[in-house]
């Protein structure tokens, strides 16, 4: 009596788990991998020059390499050759951060400091850990990338160069190179009085 | 009565004798302040030109003086420091060869540029772990000192290094010149303790000078790096890694720190510290403990120093014929002296 009951229960459990795990749904058709957008992120310097005869666009070799890789559908990180923000770099950084906290904790406990000193050290370590985590996860993100272009008109009038982030896009239409500068709307206080 | 006897020489010392060290300290401080201010001024005014001239004139000789200094600091018998020196020399050799091999392998197309930051990050990690091992070993030699904190600190720095290895390497470029100031501090503590406090007060001027350079040059346009040499100098100072910062500031700060570095190794340390105890000439091989001891190696030491002089002359010749290429080679090979500073500085702590 007991064995058939267990068998039925097992079958019911299996069917229920199949439903929960969507095991009764066929595999989705393999979709083509998404085509990466032809975009790279770099910095742009707009520099007025009184002695220049014609407008010149200077592209660093590294940016050109990145752009070429983007056109060839090579991942940008690989083309740029940086570990900043890369998966490998983040994993290794996290591993070493784990080691740092582990060894730091062991050192703190084994050291002959007083309880108050240990508490202060533990708080400092926690703060450092949080800070590093914020850096790794980019929790300390800067203002929007277009923010530095706000002073472009004044800088152009004053002959001062302006540096800011720029996204280089390859677009299918058009015949001219186009530069789009973000201009945030002025706040009510900064608007001139009418 | 005993106290009175102890105090007697101090009380009855002639006033001129008491004033002499103070006067010398004042002269020393005046020279330090004048040198620092002049270096900052010149480095801000003509950064590229001064960079070319200082590297040409002082890069080779300061390495020879460092070699001479390290030989003098090398004990005749390692004794309890045997493991420390084994780790030190093994690390210097391995890391130097690795550092030189990286560009060679790159130019030989053994790997693509995509792996370059990973290689740099790995090298930086090895460097940090090596330094941590040296600190730990040095801590074990000294009673009552637990320097095992070096491991978690090294792991934490290694973690930051992997987030942006290029910036970490740039930090080494800027921090290395400051190590010379630390050497001078330790030497003054041993040989001229009466100057130490004044010297440390002078060091407080350093951040002020740096802030002054950044404030003065921060809004200036970047330096024209349209030729290969200028481009190399600005790249070495981190112009590509810090595009938001004027390369004028970066090169000026770097040249200023390098001038301080050269000043310490070529003037301050030879004139103040080592010769005071040994009373020997700079070319006297017998001032080196390894050459002075009974079963020493005077010929080997003389050969090493002679070879060093030959390299200095070769560097000058190279700079004269092809400055840019020689500069590249020099800054790659010179990593050995950067590394060698770590164990010898630790020996003085």
Least confident of B20-34, B53-67, B298-312: B20-34
* Residue B137 scores a pLDDT above 80: yes
pLDDT at A189: 45
Of the ranges A2-6, B92-96, B153-157, B170-174, which one carries the lowest mean pLDDT score? A2-6
**CB pair distance less than 8 Å for B152 and A107:** yes
The pLDDT, as a whole number, for residue A139 is 60
The yes-or-no verdict on residue B216 having pLDDT over 60 is yes
The tens digit of pLDDT for each residue in A42-56 reads: 777 787 777 777 777
User: Among A82, A97, A163, whose Cβ lies nearest the Cβ of B244?
Assistant: A163
Residue B187 confidence class, pLDDT cut points 50, 70, 90: confident
Contacts of B240 in chain A (CB under 8 A): 60, 62
B114 close to A (CB below 8 A):
yes
Residue B195 vs residues A133, B29, B182: alpha-carbon distances, Å: 44, 8, 14
Say whether residue B113 is in contact with chain A using an 8 A CB cutoff.
yes
Q: Is the dihedral of CA B181, B182, B188, B194 positive or negative?
A: positive
| C-alpha span between B216 and B131 (Å, rounded) | 36
Residues A137-142 have a mean pLDDT of 60
Task: Decide if pLDDT at B301 tops 70.
Answer: yes
Q: In sequence order, what are the residues at sequence separation of 6 or more whose Cβ sits closer than 8 angstroms to the Cβ of residue B125?
A: A96, B158, B161, B162
Whether A155 has a pLDDT exceeding 70, the answer reads yes
Alpha carbon distance B256, B259 (integer Å) = 5
Q: Span B162-167, mean pLDDT?
A: 84
The minimum CA-CA distance between A91 and chain B, rounded to whole Å, is: 9
Best mutation target, B120, B154, B156, to test chain A (most A CBs within 10 A): B156
Predicted local confidence at residue B47, as pLDDT: 86
Model pLDDT for residues B234-292, shown as the tens digit of each residue = 888 888 788 778 888 889 999 999 999 998 888 888 877 554 455 566 667 777 777 77
Per cent of chain A over pLDDT 70 is: 57
Would the CB atoms of B244 and A43 count as touching at under 8 Å? yes
C-alpha B258/C-alpha B177 separation (Å) is 6
Nearest residue to B98 (alpha-carbon basis) of B341, B344, B335 = B335
Of the candidates A82, A99, A102, the beta carbon closest to that of B117 is on: A82
Q: Do A100 and B155 touch (CB under 8 A)?
A: yes
Chain centroid, CA B66 distance in Å:
8
Give Cα A62 distance to the centre of its chain: 19
Q: Give the residue on A whose Cα is nearest the Cα of B150.
A: A104
Question: Between chains, do A161 and B125 touch, taking CB under 8 Å as contact?
Answer: no
How far B191 CA sits from the closest chain A CA (Å)? 33
**Domain spans in chain A, listed from the N-terminal domain onward:** 39-49+62-169
Sign of CA dihedral B177, B326, B42, B250: negative
pLDDT value for A26: 63
How close B132 comes to chain A (CA, Å)? 12
pLDDT reported for residue A85:
55
Residue A192: the pLDDT is 41
Quick one: DSSP state of residue A191?
A: S
The answer to whether A136 and A170 are in contact (CB under 8 A) is: no
Of the listed ranges A23-32, A41-50, A110-119, B166-175, the one predicted with least confidence: A23-32
The stretch A134-153 carries a mean pLDDT of: 68
Average pLDDT over every residue of A79-90: 61
| Residue A190: per-residue pLDDT | 43
**What pLDDT sits at residue B90?**
92
Neighbours of B200 (CB within 10 A): 12
| pLDDT of B102 strictly over 70 | yes
For residue B119, what is the nearest residue in chain A, using CA coordinates?
A83
DSSP string, A36-96: PPSEEEEEEEE---TT-SS------HHHHHHHHHHHTT--HHHHHT--TT-HHHHHHHHHH
Mean pLDDT of chain B: 81
Which one of A58, A92, A130 makes the best mutation probe of the B interface by having the most chain B beta carbons within 10 Å? A92
Torsional sign, CA B285, B289, B294, B300: negative
| Confidence tier at A76 by pLDDT (50, 70, 90) | very low
CA distances for A114 relative to A123, A127, B212, angstroms = 14, 20, 42
Residue extents of the structural domains in chain B: 24-347
Q: Which residues of A touch B244 (CB under 8 A)?
A: 43, 148, 163
- Under the banding of pLDDT at 50, 70 and 90, the label for residue A20 is low
Cβ contact B221–A161 (<8 Å): yes
Residue B296 has pLDDT above 50, yes or no: yes
Mean pLDDT score of chain A: 70
Q: What is the mean pLDDT of residues B307-330?
A: 88
Residues of B in contact with A92 (CB under 8 A): 121, 159, 162
Residue A72: pLDDT above 80? no
Instruction: Retrieve residue B35's tokens.
Output: 């040198």
Which of the two residues, B34 and A125, has the higher pLDDT score?
B34
Tell me the C-alpha distance between B313 and B63, whole Å: 12
* pLDDT for the residue B1: 43
A166 or B97, higher pLDDT: B97
Q: What is the pLDDT of residue B128?
A: 92
Contact A89 B121 (CB under 8 A): yes
């Amino acid at each position: 009596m007991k064995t058939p009951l267990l068998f039925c229960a097992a079958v019911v459990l299996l069917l229920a788990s199949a439903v929960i795990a969507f095991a009764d749904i066929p595999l989705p058709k393999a979709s083509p991998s998404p085509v990466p957008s032809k975009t790279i992120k770099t910095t742009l310097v707009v520099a007025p020059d009184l002695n220049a005869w014609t407008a010149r666009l200077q592209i660093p070799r590294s940016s050109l390499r990145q752009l070429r890789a983007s056109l060839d559908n090579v991942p940008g990180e690989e083309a740029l050759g940086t570990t900043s923000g890369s998966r490998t770099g983040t994993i290794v950084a996290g591993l070493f951060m784990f080691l740092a906290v582990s060894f730091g904790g062991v050192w703190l406990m084994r050291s002959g400091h007083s309880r108050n000193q240990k508490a202060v050290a533990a708080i400092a370590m926690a703060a450092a850990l949080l800070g590093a985590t914020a850096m790794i996860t980019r929790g300390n993100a800067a203002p929007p990338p277009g923010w530095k272009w706000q002073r472009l008109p004044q800088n152009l009038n004053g002959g001062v160069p302006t540096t800011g982030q720029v996204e280089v896009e390859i677009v299918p239409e058009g015949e001219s190179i186009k530069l789009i500068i973000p201009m945030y709307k002025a706040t009510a206080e900064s608007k001139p009085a009418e | 009565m005993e106290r009175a006897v102890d105090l007697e020489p101090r009380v009855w010392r002639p006033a001129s004798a008491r004033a002499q060290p103070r006067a010398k300290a004042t002269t020393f401080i005046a020279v330090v302040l004048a040198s620092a201010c002049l270096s900052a001024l010149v480095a801000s005014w003509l950064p590229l030109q001064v960079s070319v001239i200082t590297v040409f004139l002082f890069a080779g000789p300061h390495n020879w003086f460092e070699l001479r200094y390290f030989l003098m600091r090398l004990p005749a018998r390692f004794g309890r420091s045997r493991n420390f020196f084994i780790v030190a020399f093994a690390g210097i050799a391995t890391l130097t060869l690795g550092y030189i091999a990286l560009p060679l392998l790159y130019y030989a197309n053994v790997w693509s540029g995509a792996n370059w930051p990973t290689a740099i990050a790995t090298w930086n990690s090895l460097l940090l772990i090596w330094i941590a091992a040296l600190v730990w070993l040095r801590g074990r030699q000294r009673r009552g000192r637990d320097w095992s904190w070096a491991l978690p600190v090294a792991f934490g720095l290694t973690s930051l290094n992997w987030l942006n290895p290029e910036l970490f390497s740039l930090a080494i470029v800027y921090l290395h010149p400051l190590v010379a100031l630390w050497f001078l501090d330790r030497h003054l503590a041993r040989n001229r303790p009466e100057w130490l406090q004044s010297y440390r007060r002078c060091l407080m001027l350093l951040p002020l000078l740096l802030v002054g350079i950044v404030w003065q040059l921060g809004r200036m346009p970047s330096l024209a790096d349209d030729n290969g040499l200028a481009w190399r100098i600005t790249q070495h100072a981190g112009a590509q890694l810090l595009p938001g910062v004027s390369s004028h500031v970066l090169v000026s700060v770097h040249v200023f720190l390098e001038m301080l570095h050269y000043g310490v190794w070529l003037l301050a340390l030879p004139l103040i510290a080592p010769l005071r105890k040994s009373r020997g000439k700079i070319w006297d091989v017998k001032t080196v403990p390894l050459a002075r001891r009974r079963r020493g190696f005077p010929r080997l030491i003389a050969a090493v120093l002679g070879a060093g002089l030959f390299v200095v002359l070769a560097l000058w010749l190279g700079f004269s014929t092809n400055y840019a290429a020689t500069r590249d080679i020099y800054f790659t090979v010179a990593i050995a002296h950067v590394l060698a500073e770590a164990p010898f500085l630790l020996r003085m702590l």
